[in-house]
Structure 1
């Protein structure tokens, strides 16, 4: 019976601790929260790690202490007695060597191989502090710096050739200052490599060193287009459809900004109510951009004239931005505007909507019921989601106390951003009211009607992968008076082959964008320790 129990225990040990199958367990004891296993080896012959000659001549023995993975929620410590052998090869630089147990020990290792793998996986998944907290449960407790050292010491997977379909995109080490490039195998959605910057030279050098890339998925960045053309001229470049659609949306928004004077026509006609006695004081109408003489208006007109004067002299946007100490996007905005009044529409006018306009109906109802205490009304509004102060409520109902009828909140026209959404969204997903407003808007302007048709045609071409129709669509756009859409077409012309491939082939930069988001998560998780070498390890090796 004792023999049977011994065999069962031996089989259980082999099943639960396969890495201990090659040693003889002499004793198992518990000290506090640590389980200690004393074991020894019965090795009679071992191979020299340098020359490979096998030796049976023992030199001595000594005890190694190895941290192992937790067992039953308790830390496991192995006291292993191993032998040292003489090397019989006189030409070998080693006189003696210590034996290593396959699957259990490594040279100079203070942890078992399974424990090292567990800690490496935790370090790659969670990083320093969070990983150190988890090791207290899953393995031997280690510090965050130990986990970081383990991550940095892991070997990178070898890469001799590039993937057939490569995805390229940039990410920020420090936004606005330094950027890197992440390379993705689109077929498997795995990280292939991480480049230290986002220049064309670096990408071209990588493509030269890793041949075999046939298709490159990228955004509309010129640096990646140039680097791909130089490093892999035979590869097909595919512009991402999401970025193309976004560029089209920006052109649509600029076009609607030019025709924003049609938006007030979408306000429904209000029912005229009889004038009460005494007549209420009419609200002050907002000033038009041409009538403004405030500081912002004067500065905007001066900058507009200076920017256009420099443009006529042949200066570029970058040079103008440097001379005037302005951002390049700001200079472009001034350059696109025909007159400064177009810019003043987007600057502050002092006629901002009040937060209480959304609760106007409720306030009127409670006022008619006899509740005239501003503090009580404010408490009731807070239950409805209001986040303002009671002073604002008191000022809002002040005209009502003077027995003047409250001025109803005037309906506001839709914004340019809202109208842009009507043009870009699927017509089947528009609300009936939005569809009516879109029909009214396009009926007021032939240019907007033409814009609506071009956007629909482009959407059908993109959804049905009809990139062969791109040239006909471009020619149709150029025949209409749509300057901002012409600018979009000019950008397509510069990158037409990649855009045509993006509208034809099924590949996109979606997997790359997903890994860029994952990179942002890893940076935040590392609490400022996202150095390029450590971030690279986690991107390349994490599951």
Structure 2
């Protein structure tokens, strides 16, 4: 290759200064390029003195970024130099190529940077799939190994810290995530949620001024012992969640009081009594007509009704009974009888048909009154007495004893009918201006029927207004109102807040909360689930911190 071509290829492939291309060997799948360093001397890595005395050279093969879908292989001609410093412990050293490849590396620095970026974004398995599509030959283990070689990112001073836990395995093992709430970035992930672990981290960062946390005892103790100079802030969401649990308990006890005055139950019982009837006697008891027989009878009755309508129409048009009978293919006597009745005959059976079940009817009625209502059991008992019929016959007779279900007309459902303590809890917590007319009516009904619910709603809205408007200075007034209400559940909730009073007042006053932390926890879970069981702490921490 002439010097112009060498310079052109070196610029195209962005080779560092003094590193030139000596040869190019393309193939359908690979692009092999010879590369050598043209520097006249090289600095010794031990004594840092330059040396121009060449001892020898050897070839080294490294992978580079793919080009046009083909793997690029660099064949480096690496020289060995003799160190001329008498006091240097190393006599022979190999030239370094810091802008292209590190010592002992099998990939160029820029290819390693791309592989690390794929690992951060997609992880091992999915990152390898993406690398294959771009022409990079790699394995999940290689990709993760390069990812773990990334240096820890530099941490900035944290002024407002958010602390929350996440589940390694729900209900068994948990970790801790630390977030800078001002920058909304993850700054560290701890292996557990023990107070000693969080306390040790806080002692290493004395610059923290605010700590936003939930109401858990572990984080409270860690913030108190590890960062006594910081103002603790209770997360408002967790306070409202605790309040909703208390409200659900209160409203659950108020359900009976709210349901008073409803007549739906008594009307139902009255209707049930009205449709209750006595049992038939042995002489009048007959089996229920099978469903398919009823359907056939209804079809025939519909045909007879239609024939009667046709008969009446023809008679109204002036035809005689004989002419009607001839036209419809019926006897004159039948036409005369139908017209005299004014309706088609129903042909219903008004007599009791004999059955092989009759000798055992009295015994079955007695057993029915004793509480035995299963047809199969009754069949087995009378079969032992000599009954020769089938179980289906017994089932038809027993079905005739059962009450036919009837529809009961009830009054329209009210809010008391649909009352649920869980649903009512959110009616109590939400801003009344955001409720629909129907929800407001349900809320008024609850407060009208229960004095306890009315007092609870007033105190709840007072607390929620204080929380929404950041009026932490009104907390003392709310505590006094709760104490005067004589509602034990609310008083217990207020006493719990009073134990953490400073942090609660700060949460009701300042704008900091754990909302950004919940978003980062969601991100953490997404990354952890995508790592196919390899989400141990070092790898998970590496991906989260560098992605942040």
Give the TM-score, by structure 2 length: 0.70
C-alpha separation between the residues in 2 aligned to 1:122 and 1:44? 38
Aligned to 2:160: 165
CA distance in 1, matches of 2:8, 2:476: 73
Q: For 1:222, which of 210, 217, 220 is the aligned residue?
A: 217
Q: Which residue of 1 aligns with 2:490?
A: 485
How much does 1:196 deviate? 2.2
Match in the other structure for 2:252: 257
Residues 44 and 183 (structure 1), Cα distance of their counterparts in 2 relative to 1, 3 Å cut: same
Return the alpha-carbon distance in structure 2 between the equivalents of residues 239 and 424 of structure 1.
19
Taking the aligned partners of 1:227 and 1:429, their CA distance within structure 2 comes to 39
Q: Given the superposition, is the C-alpha separation of residues 221 and 278 from structure 1 closer, same or farther in structure 2, using an over 3 Å criterion?
A: closer
Question: Which stretch of the first structure deviates more once superposed, 512-521 or 213-222?
Answer: 512-521
Q: How many residues align?
A: 422
Describe the superposition over 1:62-104 as per-residue Cα deviations: whole angstroms up to 9, x where unpaired. 2222212222232222222222212222322322222222321
Q: 2:128 aligns with which of 126, 132, 138?
A: 132
1:319-468 aligned at under 5 Å gives the runs 405-406=406-407, 411=413, 412-468=417-473
SS in 1 for 2:103: coil
- The structural deviation recorded for 1:13 is 5.5
- The yes-or-no answer on 1:202 pairing with 2:197 is yes
Residues 445-470 of structure 1: CA deviation (Å, up to 9, x unaligned): 22211211112121221111111111
Q: Is 2:248 aligned against 1:243? A: no
Tell me how far apart the structure 1 counterparts of residues 419 and 9 of structure 2 sit (CA, whole Å): 73
Q: In 2, distance between residues paired with 1:223 and 1:189?
A: 23
Gaps of 5+ in 1: 283-369, 371-397
The one of 137, 151, 154 aligned to 2:147: 151
**Higher Cα Rg: structure 1 or 2?**
2
> Structure 1 64/277 Cα, relative in aligned 2: closer, same or farther at 3 Å?
closer
Give the 3 Å change call, closer, same or farther, for CA 262–433 of structure 1 in structure 2. farther
Output the CA distance in 2 between the equivalents of 1:217 and 1:494: 17
Partner of 2:105: 109
Structure-2 change in CA distance of 1:13 and 1:53 (3 Å): closer
Counterpart CA distance in 1 for 2:482 and 2:52 is 86
Q: TM-score, normalised by structure 1?
A: 0.71
Does structure 2 retain, via aligned residues, the 8 Å contact 1:262–1:441? no
State the distance in 1 between where 2:76 and 2:248 align. 72
Contact 1:66–1:112 (CA<8 Å) still a contact in 2?
yes
Q: 1:93 aligns with which of 60, 64, 89?
A: 89
- Looking at structure 1, the residues matched to 4 and 231 of structure 2 have their Cα atoms a distance apart, in angstroms, of 66
Structure 1 CA distance, aligned partners of 2:229 and 2:42? 54
Distance 1:89 1:277, change over 3 A: closer
Residues 28 and 70 in structure 2, CA contact (< 8 A), matched pair in contact too:
no
Match of 1:43 among 20, 39, 45: 39
2:66 is matched with: 70
Residue 440 of structure 1 deviates from its aligned partner by 0.9
Offset at residue 542 of structure 1 (A): 2.3
CA RMSD of aligned residues (A): 3.2
Residue 259 of structure 1 aligns to a residue whose secondary structure is: helix
Tell me what 1:529 maps to.
534
Distance 1:268 1:234 in 2: 62
Match of residue 516, structure 1, among 515, 521, 525: 521
Distance 1:263 1:48, change over 3 A: farther
1:403 Cα deviation from its structure 2 partner: 7.2
- The structure 1 residue matched to 2:206, chosen from 206, 211, 217, is 211
- Looking at structure 1, the residues matched to 447 and 272 of structure 2 have their Cα atoms a distance apart, in angstroms, of 42
**Counterpart Cα distance in 1 of 2:61 and 2:82:** 23
Deviations 1:346-404 (A, max 9, x none): xxxxxxxxxxxxxxxxxxxxxxxx9xxxxxxxxxxxxxxxxxxxxxxxxxxx99x9975
Q: Which of 77, 102, 127 pairs up with 1:81?
A: 77
1:24 equivalent in alignment to 2:29: no
Query: Which secondary structure state, in structure 2, belongs to the residue aligned with residue 155 of structure 1?
Result: coil
The 10-residue stretch of structure 1 (65-74 or 442-451) with the greater mean CA deviation from structure 2: 65-74
Distance 1:171 1:266 in 2: 48
The change in CA–CA distance for 1:408 and 1:117 in structure 2 (over 3 A counts) is farther
Unmatched tracts of structure 2, length 5 or more = 278-298, 300-398
